Amino acid sequence: MLYGIIPRNVVSFNAETDIPALDDKVILITGGNVGLGKQTILQLSKHNPKRIYLAARTQSKAEAAIEELQTLVPSAPITYIHCDLTSVSSVQECAREFTLKEKRLDLLFLNAGIMATPAGTTVEGYEIQFGTNHVGHALLTKLLLPTLVKTAAEPGSDVRVISLSSIGHLYAPWSGISFPDLKTDMSDSSTWCRYAQSKLANILFAEGLQKRYGEKGIKAVAVHPGVVDTELYRSTFSGYLGLGRLLDRGKRWVYTGVEKGALNQLWAAVGKNVEGGEYYTPIGVSGQGSKWSVDEGLADALWEWTEKELVGYDF
């Protein structure tokens, strides 16, 4: 859904006034050094969380982002934690470091991602976009699940896992997810098809997580932020023979800013009427996914595939 095309059931949400006090809350956000993740941290920092962990690959960029954020919110309790989602060992170390420092985790934002990259694979051989956007996040979630479940069992807790998906999931392969090809570079498929597949996986993973851990107090959802003017979008389109220049000239009508783009995941993190297992377009609108996004059989197949792939990857 694009901003400007407003469905009747859109939720009104103001980050300044509708985010409650986050006293004693511990939060982890992947990709928090730029774009939507950075804006999400900015807004959450204003509401007195105990600690926000900014998980990112490049330390210098993360530290620069933290410095900027703490200029805007001097009391912001932000800590950098290294996490390269293309590497199992890096994700393991991220989870290990976090659990050594914290005994609770209230909000987990699976925010980081790559889009429309050249064909390639992760360190462990997964198609690069699927490996980064889904497998890396799935492993991080798996390793943090004991902490999430423990936190959810405490009185008054409201534990949520928010996956950043995209309306781009509509362009996934005809089968939804091409399981036989996930451990190749899938160079025979277009980069956008590979991206869409990974974004569909984000939705299905949230559904699978809710199905298996909802009764333990974890609420998992997936969100589309809108078409947002971020570094990810600009760098993606810059090489398309003038398309990037055209979009830059027309971004006033095409893109929304990160301030609005972050609202859907902020609402999903703290909103009162958020339903676990749903996929939401801005803001708080359900029922906009593809047929594959609500296919329980495909969601179960992805969960089973992922569990098998992640066997043995512990601390």
pLDDT in tens, 283-292: 999 999 999 9
Does pTM top 0.75 for this prediction?
Answer: yes
pLDDT in tens, 210-225: 999 999 999 999 999 9
| Residue 227 pLDDT greater than 90, yes or no | no
Residue whose tokens read 């909103």: 271
* Reported confidence tier of residue 9, pLDDT bands at 50, 70, 90: confident
pLDDT of residue 165: 98
Give me the percent of the chain exceeding a pLDDT of 90.
87
Mean pLDDT, rounded, for 45-51: 99
| Residue 94 pLDDT greater than 90, yes or no | yes
Give the integer Cα–Cα distance in Å for 184 and 275. Answer: 35
Instruction: State the CB neighbour count (10 A cutoff) for residue 17.
Output: 7
- The chain-wide mean pLDDT, for the chain, equals 92
DSSP 135: I
Which DSSP helix (H) or strand (E) runs through 185? none
pLDDT of residue 307: 98
Mean pLDDT, rounded, for 216-238: 76
* Reported confidence tier of residue 228, pLDDT bands at 50, 70, 90: confident
pLDDT in tens, 257-277: 999 999 999 999 999 999 999
DSSP characters for 80-103? EEE--TT-HHHHHHHHHHHHHH-S
Homologous superfamily (CATH) for 21-225+262-307: NAD(P)-binding Rossmann-like Domain (3.40.50.720)
pLDDT of residue 89: 98
pLDDT in tens, 102-126: 999 999 999 999 999 999 999 999 9
| Residue 1 pLDDT greater than 50, yes or no | no
What count of residues does the chain have?
Answer: 315
Mean pLDDT, rounded, for 237-252: 47
Query: For the chain, which residues make up each domain, given as ranges?
Result: 21-225+262-307
pLDDT in tens, 123-159: 999 999 999 999 999 999 999 999 999 999 999 999 9
pLDDT of residue 247: 43
pLDDT of residue 293: 98
Residue 49 near residue 26, CB atoms below 8 Å:
yes
| Catalytically annotated residues | 195, 199
Give me the percent of the chain exceeding a pLDDT of 70.
89
Mean pLDDT, rounded, for 174-190: 98
Give the distance, in angstroms, between the CA of residue 100 and the centroid of all CA atoms in the same chain: 23
Pairing of strands 159-164, 26-30: unpaired
Give the integer Cα–Cα distance in Å for 7 and 160. Answer: 25
